[in-house]
Amino acid sequence: MTKPYSARTPSHDLSGLWTGFYAYDLNDDAVPFTAWISEDDGTITGSVLEDDITSPEPDGECTSEIIGERRGLDVRFTKIETAGPDGSLELLRYQGDTDPECCVISGVWFFDDPAESSGTFMMTRISGALKAVIQPAAANESQFGRTTED
C-alpha cells in the first residue's frame, strides 16, 4: 500500500525520475515524456525522453537536455532539442510551480517567438529522494480483515 500523500517524506529538491505530459494550445492530445532531473542548490539540469511526434517512424523517440532553476516553488527551465536534419537547436521555455513536497510540477511551455505554438505541461516524480513505500496487499490485515496465515 502506498503511504498517504501527506505522510510521505518531503524532498528538498527536484532530483529524480519524473513522468509527465505536455499538450499544444490546450486542445491537442497530450504527449507523454520521461525526465531525469538533477538539482544542485537551485540549479536544474537533466534530460527528457519522449515520442518523436514529427518522425515518420511509428516508434520514434527523441531526447533533449534541460537546464534551469528552482526558486522556492517557482520552476523555470529550457528544453534544448535538436531540430531538423541540419542539427539546429530549438529552445522551448517551461515555467511552472511545484508543490511543497516537490512531487508535482505543472505550468506552461512556449517558444521564444510568440507566433509559435505554446501549451501546458504536468509532471510527477516517480523516484528519487521521495519514494512510495509499497507493501503487499496480502500482508495488510486492515485491508482484507485477515492475516497472511489465514
pLDDT tier at 89 (50, 70, 90 boundaries)?
A: confident
Give whichever of 11-15, 40-44, 126-130 has the largest mean pLDDT.
Answer: 40-44
Model confidence pTM above 0.85: no
Instruction: Determine contact, residues 95/108, Cβ cutoff 8 Å.
Output: yes
C-alpha cell at 63: 531526447
Q: What average pLDDT does the segment 100-129 reach?
A: 90
Q: Tell me how far apart the alpha carbons of residues 99 and 119 are, in angstroms, rounded to a whole number.
A: 20
Distances from the Cα of 56 to the Cαs of 21, 49, 117, 141, in angstroms? 21, 17, 21, 52
Which set of grid coordinates corresponds to residue 40? Answer: 544542485
pLDDT digits (tens, 9 = 90+) for 56-84: 677 778 889 999 999 999 999 999 987 66
Which segments of 1-150 does DSSP mark as H helices, in order?
141-144
pLDDT band at 55 (very low <50, low <70, confident <90, very high): low
Give CA–CA dist 11/102, Å, rounded.
6
Rg (CA), the chain: 19
- Which of the 8 DSSP states describes residue 2? P
Mean pLDDT (the chain, rounded): 79
Give phi and psi for 149, each to the nearest 5: -85, -15
Q: How far apart are CA 16 and CA 150, in angstroms?
A: 39
Class level of CATH domain 16-125: mainly beta
Task: With beta carbons less than 8 A apart as the criterion, state whether 109 and 33 touch.
Answer: no
Cα 134 from Cα 102, distance rounded (Å):
20
Residue 81 burial (10 A CB sphere; 0-12, 13-18, 19+): middle
Q: What is the residue extent of each domain of the chain?
A: 16-125
